[in-house]
Chain A
Amino acid sequence: MIRVVLPHHLRTLARVGDEVKLEVNGRATTQSVLDALEARYPMLRGTIRDHGTQKRRPMVRFFVCGEDVSHDPPDTALPEAIVNGAEPFFIMGAIAGG
């Protein structure tokens, strides 16, 4: 079970709490996690990845185990701590404060 933490705007849109849990079929990658997330919560399609290109939206970033993986190839395998649910996969709006 993979844990995903969504930014506030997407929590209200998907009507979920701080964190969602997902079953990911096959190898856990950024792409497969997002595929599973959008399959479970279709209202999130287009909010994280562009509808047309499927690329990450410019002001959205992904973090795993304290590392920014936003610019990694989307089929890069995620760490075991993400796969076994010890650590969540963070989706964040690219803003630090203000």
Chain B
Amino acid sequence: MSGVRLLVGTRKGAFILTSDEKRKDWKVDGPHFAGWEIYHVKGSPVDPNRLYASQTSAWFGQIIQRSDDGGKTWIQPGTAPGEPTTTPDGMPKGDSNKFVYDVSPETGKRLTTHMWYDGTQHPWEFKRVWHLEPSLTDPNHVYAGVEDAALFESKDGGENWKELAGLRGHDSGPKWQPGAGGMCLHSILLDPKNPKRIFIAISAAGAFRTDDGGKSWKPINQGLHSQYIPDPHAEVGHCVHHIAMHPSRPETLFMQKHWDIMRSDDAGDSWREVSGNVPSDFGFPIDIHAHEPETIYVVPIKSDSEHFPPDGKLRVYRSRTGGNEWEELTKGLPQRDCYVNVLRDAMSVDALDSCGIYFGTTGGQVYGSSDAGDSWNAIVRDLPAVLAVEAQTLP
């Protein structure tokens, strides 16, 4: 029997929510890694039981966790229970948490500086993994988007990580600057038709694309307009909050920017605004219907200083026309006194016949819709603040 598994990362642990295909009754399992911030949990599209989780703490650093049984049990790759804890020559293992910028002469780039909040230059410093993106073809291959912005990959199930240093080493690097949440690489889109093409987005540098498997990168921000930076049309410096792609049409990208909802139909070479009639075009997540590549979803937020829904009404907006024309979706969502936020990785869709859509809030609610957004229910109401939601459609 098919079903859905939601992988929920929160400020104080991970939770796994499961249901059958009716999506009415949900089992809540957790917290896993209680007390730690779980920035993201995502499953492999090849093997849905292979999960990767980013467990992190400002105090104690970055941990990568892996599950091979759909989240029932977890290991730190490289330190599996029962395995020797040292190498044959006596050196400790446990390298799965090791994210070190590549400054090697062979493949690395010099560790330079980026722009700090006050406009001065600031050294690149690893802080945490924001997003994990498993490969479309190999469960042991996974990408990690990190703060300070860089892209890493592991080809051994998360045991060892290597930076794709061409991105951080792009000539524009010294102009990248942190957004309010830090200088994070938060979106990674893998092109299903072209394995050499990857899209990423950084707050606040913008979107980038590689067409050679990550060796070289091109800023793809033409058409973005950001009034809060000195040159509103700059090549980099835009605070992109999230980007999304439907696998059937990888040339088309949708973007929720700091302000503005944007669309590109040429793989990011140019963008146009499709904010249309949303009550505010500020927001964080953007996602796409599993079966309708022109149906997209956003959650309008009042402003960059007031991170809550306009008028205290939690509304998802859906466009069935790829932007510009939006309808509000409110059935089952609080329409008064609601002042939560929905963060950039906290929305996801399932691929059942009637597309399910889910999002989590900073108030700890996870809302779900089994009818493409027409109506909503709170699956769970009182989790810690939700950082990320990923839906898995189970066979």
Contact = CB atoms under 8 A, between A and B. Distances in A.
Contacts of B192: none
B308 to A, nearest CB: 24
Interface string A1-26: 00000011110110000000000000
Contacts of B36: 9, 12
A7 B126 CA distance: 22
A38 interface: yes
Nearest to A95: B59
B316 interface: no
Contact of B60 (A10, A41, A42, A52): A10
Interface string B83-113: 0011000001111011111000000000000
Interface in A31-90: 38-48, 50-52, 57, 59-60
B34 interface: yes
Given A9-B35, A38-B92, A51-B98, A43 B76 contact: yes
Chain B, interface size category, equals 20 to 34
Nearest to B62: A46
B58 interface: yes
Interface residues of A, number: 26
Contacts of B92: 38-39, 42, 45
B85 A42 contact: yes
A39 B86 CA distance: 7
B63 interface: yes
Contacts of A43: 63, 76, 79, 94, 97
Contacts of B98: 45-46, 51
Contacts of B95: 45
Contacts of B62: 46
B59 A9 contact: yes
Contacts of B58: 59
Contacts of B93: 42
A45 B95 CA distance: 8
Contacts of A7: 59-60
A10 B76 CA distance: 14
B57 interface: yes
Q: Which of A7, A9, A40, A57 lies at the interface centre, i.e. has the most chain B CB atoms within 10 A of its CB? A: A9
Interface string B44-88: 000000000000011111110000000000001011000001100
Contacts of B99: 51
B272 to A, nearest CB: 42
A90 B183 CA distance: 33
Contacts of A13: 60, 63
Contacts of A57: 59-61
Nearest to A94: B59
A60 B100 contact: no
B97 A51 contact: yes
Contacts of A12: 33-36
A39 B97 contact: no
9 contacts: A42-B86, A42-B94, A45-B94, A46-B61, A51-B98, A51-B99, A59-B59, A60-B60, A93-B59
Interface of B: 33-36, 57-63, 76, 78-79, 85-86, 92-95, 97-101, 126
Can you list the 9 inter-chain pairs with the closest CB atoms, starting with the nearest?
A42-B94, A47-B60, A59-B59, A42-B92, A93-B59, A46-B97, A45-B94, A51-B98, A52-B100
